Amino acid sequence: MGAYVRWLPASGLLAATALALTGLISPPPPVAGAPAADIAAYYAGHRVGLEIESLADGIGVMLLVTFAATFHARIRSIPSLTAFVAAAILAACTLVQVAAFHALAFRPDPDPARAALLNDLQSFTFEVSTFPTLLFLGAAATAILASRALPRWLGLAAAVAAGLQAVAWISFFAPRGILAAGALPDIVSFAALLAWLVTCSVVMLRR
């Protein structure tokens, strides 16, 4: 049992790996507000890869919750418990996004209007997930900085990553283009989460 618990922090590394497959197996999906014909063509042309990505996302968020539980077990404070709850909310948001994503990939010839609506739904669900992500990273930063369980710099890194989630909210006001939901701000904030997960996982494994 001790060896099993010792390797539980690796769930963060595995979660980041699974979640990073989004956009790697297939090109990133059209952003919110993209033309309906382009959206339908994208999902029709990348069906198999997108179905695999949906599965990877589902597994990834389950591993994220496992990591958050391990993080809380290591620190045992109200902030670390908050991080665990936030991870569960983030997982729920991601699964809604995956459901819309998979519904589009499932049908070989999606109706363009319906495809546009579902694509916008998955894009804005991704955008909304920045709220629980900010709570997760902010609570993790507080938990680390208020304890000596992990290095202080790791808490500061979590705070910076949390700040990037707030910056991504600009996409709520950009109907299309590089700042739209699912575009650059969301990609950067998502990458910050994954980078912190990998770093924290490695640090916890080494301590």
87-111 CB burial, b ≥16 within 10 A, e <16: bbbbbebbeebbbbbbbbbeeeebe
pLDDT score recorded for residue 94: 87
pLDDT score recorded for residue 126: 77
Provide the domain count of the chain: 1
pLDDT lower than 50: segments of the chain: 1
pLDDT score recorded for residue 49: 79
pTM, two decimals, is 0.83
pLDDT score recorded for residue 29: 73
Residue 202: domain span = 2-206
pLDDT score recorded for residue 92: 92
